[in-house]
Amino acid sequence: MMRSFVLLCLSVSCQSIDLLSDSFTQSVGGILQAAQVGLSRAEQHEEKAVMRVRKETDDLLLNEGTAIGELLGAYSMELQCAIRNLSNAVNASGMAIAAADAATPPDQAHQWRGPLVDAISNAKVAIDVAATAVHSTEHHGKSLLRQAKATAELTLDKHADELSHHIGDLSASLDAAKAKLESILERISSQNLSANVTVVVDSNAKKDDIITRMTEVETFIKSAQAASQAKIAAAKDKLDVGIAKADKEVAAKAEDMIMKLVGQEHTELQKLRGKLTATAISKLRGAKTSVPKQQVVHPSKTSGEKKLMAAP
């Protein structure tokens, strides 16, 4: 942009000078030399500014990759924790069902209908639903994590693309930021969860009150499933808010860097333009046009005049 501006200025100047005489050649040379020196100095300043912004951009993208990697890692751990908690609740409920079956009197164990049969059946159905939720949540959770990671990487792509229009290709910086995101996500996700805590179904029912105990099991497993879903939803909301916040902060920093770079470039152009204008005016004022001397044409003498002049 800066070189194009200078070439345009020189083109206009030269067009003006061509209308004058050849005696301006030396002045044009001086203008060209001054323009070249000024352009070289301005380009050096601009290159330094671009290099500084590139370094800031490297840090910016890397920091964003780190922050998003930590957010995704925390989300992954929340998913794992929610799945583990529900799985533990399913196991505890299954043990409670087995204990109830063992405590059921033989004369009631093979009944086809009645309050006891309904209570046990309802508890078993609730456990089966929760067990299915464990597997589906585990599968769906991985899909959610991949989707969140893809969304985060698109955010990095967007910021890198915006900045690349002003400071050049940023593919290496973008790759480094994504690699950082991936490594942090992997490190956090691979951490072992705290040791499993033995989960039991609290019961206030009497030992032989199997119906009440089964009702408690049903309530317990449904509550555990609801808590798992709520935990996952809260983790997703937290992740979305975190990514949106990081996106906003990086966008603001990127815009500030771009504005400073554009402002500095404008300043350099203004300086260069002023120097070129001053140099051109000085050179052109100092140039002198040489007007060729005109020969004085004397009228031809007549033959009579010649004879008179020749007479003694």
d(CA 30, CA 33): 5
38 close to 297: Cβ distance less than 8 angstroms:
no
Output 276 or 264, whichever has higher pLDDT.
264
Question: What is residue 90's three-state secondary structure?
Answer: helix
* Percent of the chain's residues with pLDDT above 90: 23
Average pLDDT over residues 300-312: 50
Give pLDDT, residue 241: 92
Using alpha carbons, select from 74, 54, 305, 288 the residue that is nearest to residue 166.
54
d(CA 166, CA 159): 12
Average pLDDT over residues 143-169: 85
Q: What is the pLDDT of residues 87-100, one digit of tens each?
A: 999 999 988 888 87
Q: 199-220 as b/e, with b when 16 or more CB fall inside 10 Å?
A: bebebeeeeeebbebbbbbbeb
Q: Model confidence at 257, in pLDDT bands (50, 70, 90)?
A: confident
* DSSP E strands, 72-174: none
CB atoms within 10 A of CB 53: 20
Q: Which phi and psi (to 5°) does residue 73 adopt? A: -65, -45
Q: What is the pLDDT of residues 9-38, one digit of tens each?
A: 545 444 444 444 454 555 555 555 545 554
Q: Model confidence at 42, in pLDDT bands (50, 70, 90)?
A: very low
